[in-house]
Amino acid sequence: MDIASQISAGYRALHEGAAVLDLSDRGKIRATGEDRARLLHALTTNDVQTLQTGQGCYVFFLNAQGRILGDANLFCFADHLLLDTEREARTKLYEHIDRYIIADDVTIDDQTELIATLSLEGPSAARILSEFDAPLPDAPYAWTAWETRVIAKTDSTGAGGFFVFLPAPEKADFLKQLAEAGAVAATAEDARIARIEHGRPRYGEEITERYLLQETGQMQAVSFSKGCYLGQEIVERVRSRAQIHRVLKRLEIDTAEAPAAGTKLKIGDADAAEIAGAAFSPELGKVVALAYVRTPHAEPGTEMSLEGMKARVMPTAA
């Protein structure tokens, strides 16, 4: 295989420069009212009530059985909270939150069509935005106001970068300005390959209602000191027993053909892992995957096989 021919400009920019991703189809749900923080604190896994204006966090929404309904970046503004979520979870989370608004002073509205989301990712992302004299936030999930825009320190691939939220009518002009500054447009497939290389799962693909929080390995989404929330009993039960049967891990597989989700990997004759998402990595010249690995086999370096080809468990973060 001619690996060089597999490397797109957007993929290269994610590794070596600055790539821009149009993520405007991500759901944006705004919550207003005096009880907004209390309600979302009770419905999510992270500590919402202690957030100050300019701060944010990453959260999961769980059902009563501890299964994952969706994830979101949550940002605290002076008069509202903004949830930024995957398109697959947009309607589900809106309806879930609305179901729990009873006597609360909370109003939610879907801002997805009004707010565009552009993500600038890669090692040169900060430099590109600095050329516009944009005030960049320092802490993870923190945000800063920039004219009519908001810059948040988060990214979708693990390559590092910033989300820029802006009025939808301004998107085309800003994309042009970013291109003139040296940012390269990346496709959804470019981003998918990069995030799997970095061990970054996405809700709707590697994370679904099938899994428990601890199985995903996304422990930055949970506070164990925040108090009660929906699904907490299951999360605490798993923690107290210190035992899960499977955990999401990054694999490298010695093949050029990405296996489909659901494909089983074996150690001897026994199932050892199940592919959740996989892609060919031009950077590595082999397939990278995110797979739910049986806990006894989850240590980095563990080898397993896929139809005669070797696969290895790697550290989760590339």
pLDDT value at residue 5: 57
Range with the poorest average pLDDT among 168-177, 209-218, 307-316: 307-316
pLDDT tens digits, one per residue of 195-250: 999 999 999 999 999 999 999 999 999 999 999 999 999 999 999 887 899 999 99
Please determine, for residue 7, whether its predicted confidence score (pLDDT) is greater than 70: yes
Confidence at residue 241, expressed as pLDDT on a 0 to 100 scale: 85
Does the domain spanning 197-219+228-314 belong to CATH 3.30.390.10? no
> To which residue do tokens 């490397």 refer?
7
- CATH architecture observed for domain 3-192: 2-Layer Sandwich (3.30)
Mean pLDDT in residue range 150-171: 99
168 CB-contact burial (10 Å; exposed 0-12 / middle 13-18 / buried 19+): middle
Q: Are 290 and 274 in contact (CB under 8 A)?
A: no
Three-state DSSP class for 203?
Answer: strand
- Kindly state the average pLDDT of the residues 264-287: 96
Question: According to CATH, where is 3.30.1360.120 located in the chain?
Answer: 3-192
Q: pTM of the predicted model, to two decimals?
A: 0.95
Report pLDDT for 317.
63
Query: Where in the chain is CATH 2.40.30.110?
Result: 197-219+228-314
Name the token pair of 276: 């959740």
Q: Residue 3 above 60 pLDDT? A: no
| Average pLDDT rounded to a whole number, residues 252-257 | 96
Give the pLDDT band (50/70/90) at residue 263.
very high
pLDDT at 159 over 60: yes
CA 243/CA 271 separation, integer angstroms: 19
Average pLDDT (141-145) is 99
How high does pLDDT run on average in the chain? 96
Q: Is pLDDT above 80 for 257?
A: yes
**pLDDT tens sequence across 53-93:** 999 999 999 999 999 999 999 999 999 999 999 999 999 99
Residue 29 phi, psi (nearest 5):
-115, 125
